[in-house]
Structure 1
Amino acid sequence: MEPTPEDTKPAPTAGADAAPVLETLERGGDVVALHAHPAPADASALAVLWPAMGVPARYYRAFAAQLTAAGVAVVVADLRGTGASTPAPSRASRYGLGELAADVGAVLEHLGPRRAGRRTILVGHSLGGQACALHLASDPAADVSGLALLAVGLPYWRTYPRGRRLPVLLQTQTLAAVSAVARVWPGWGFGGRQARGVIRDWAHTARTGRYPARNGVDLEAGLARVTTPVLAVDMAGDQFTPPGTVTHLVEKLSAAPVTRERYDPGAAIDHFRWAKHGAELANRVAAWASVVPPRLYQP
Structure 2
Amino acid sequence: MTTSAPDSTGYVQDHLDRGTDRIGLQIYPEPEGVAGAPVIVVHPAMGVPARYYRSFAAALRDAGLAVVVADLRGTGSSTPRASRASRYRYAELVDDVGAVLDALKPRLDGRTRVLLGHSLGGQAALLHTALAGGEGVDGLAMIAVGLPYWRVYPGVTGFGVLPMTQTIALTTAVLGVWPGWGFGGRQARGVIADWAFTARAGRFPLIDGVDPAPALRQLRTPLLAVSVEHDTYTPATTLDHLCQMLPGTTVSREYYTAAQAGHRMDHFTWARHAEPLARRIADFAAGLGARTSD
What TM-score, normalized to structure 2? Answer: 0.93
Which residue of 1 is the match for residue 200 of structure 2? 207
CA distance in 1, matches of 2:58, 2:140: 19
User: Given the superposition, is the C-alpha separation of residues 204 and 236 from structure 1 closer, same or farther in structure 2, using an over 3 Å criterion?
Assistant: same
CA deviation after TM superposition for structure 1 residue 296, in Å: 5.3
Contact 1:66 1:282 in 2 (8 A): yes
Which segment is superposed worse, 289-298 or 38-47? 289-298
Deviation by residue 1:42-100 (Cα, 9 ceiling, x = unmatched): 24300000100000001100010110111100000100000000000001111111110
Contact 2:38 2:114 in 1 (8 A): yes
- Which of 264, 273, 279 does residue 275 from structure 2 map onto? 279
Which residue of 2 is the match for residue 14 of structure 1? none
CA distance in 2, matches of 1:59, 1:219: 30
Matched, 1:151 2:151: no
SS of 2:174's equivalent in the other structure is helix
Instruction: Kindly tell me the number of residue pairs found equivalent between the two proteins.
Output: 282
Which residue of 2 is the match for residue 118 of structure 1? 111
Matched, 1:22 2:13: yes
Percent same amino acid at aligned positions? Answer: 54
- Which of 208, 229, 237 does residue 236 from structure 1 map onto? 229
CA distance in 1, matches of 2:9, 2:83: 34
Which segment is superposed worse, 244-253 or 287-296? 287-296
Contact 1:50 1:78 in 2 (8 A): yes
Deviation by residue 1:100-152 (Cα, 9 ceiling, x = unmatched): 01000000000001101110100000000000001012111312110000000
Contact 1:121 1:289 in 2 (8 A): yes
SS of 2:29's equivalent in the other structure is coil
SS of 1:248's equivalent in the other structure is helix
- Which of 60, 67, 79 does residue 74 from structure 1 map onto? 67
CA distance in 2, matches of 1:139, 1:208: 24
Task: Give 5+ residue unaligned stretches, structure 1.
Answer: 1-16
Which segment is superposed worse, 193-202 or 285-294? 285-294
User: Given the superposition, is the C-alpha separation of residues 65 and 43 from structure 1 closer, same or farther in structure 2, using an over 3 Å criterion?
Assistant: farther
Which residue of 2 is the match for residue 289 of structure 1? 285
CA deviation after TM superposition for structure 1 residue 250, in Å: 1.1
Which residue of 1 is the match for residue 157 of structure 2? 164
Contact 2:110 2:291 in 1 (8 A): no
What TM-score, normalized to structure 1? Answer: 0.92
Residue correspondence of structure 1 range 185-264 to structure 2 within 5 A: 185-264=178-257
Matched, 1:49 2:42: yes
SS of 2:187's equivalent in the other structure is coil
Task: Give 5+ residue unaligned stretches, structure 2.
Answer: 1-7
SS of 2:217's equivalent in the other structure is helix
Deviation by residue 1:160-192 (Cα, 9 ceiling, x = unmatched): 012211110000000111111111111111100
CA distance in 2, matches of 1:200, 1:18: 36
Residue 112 of structure 2 aligns with an amino acid whose one-letter code is R
SS of 1:262's equivalent in the other structure is strand
- Larger RCO: Structure 1 or Structure 2 (Cα < 8 Å, ≥ 6 residues apart)? 1
Flag as ranges the 4+ runs of structure 1 deviating above 3 A: 293-297
Q: CA RMSD in A?
A: 1.2
Residue 236 of structure 1 aligns with an amino acid whose one-letter code is E
CA distance in 2, matches of 1:176, 1:220: 23
CA distance in 2, matches of 1:168, 1:18: 37
CA distance in 2, matches of 1:296, 1:152: 29
Which residue of 2 is the match for residue 107 of structure 1? 100
User: Given the superposition, is the C-alpha separation of residues 297 and 83 from structure 1 closer, same or farther in structure 2, using an over 3 Å criterion?
Assistant: farther
CA distance in 1, matches of 2:235, 2:211: 26
CA deviation after TM superposition for structure 1 residue 295, in Å: 4.6
CA deviation after TM superposition for structure 1 residue 153, in Å: 0.4
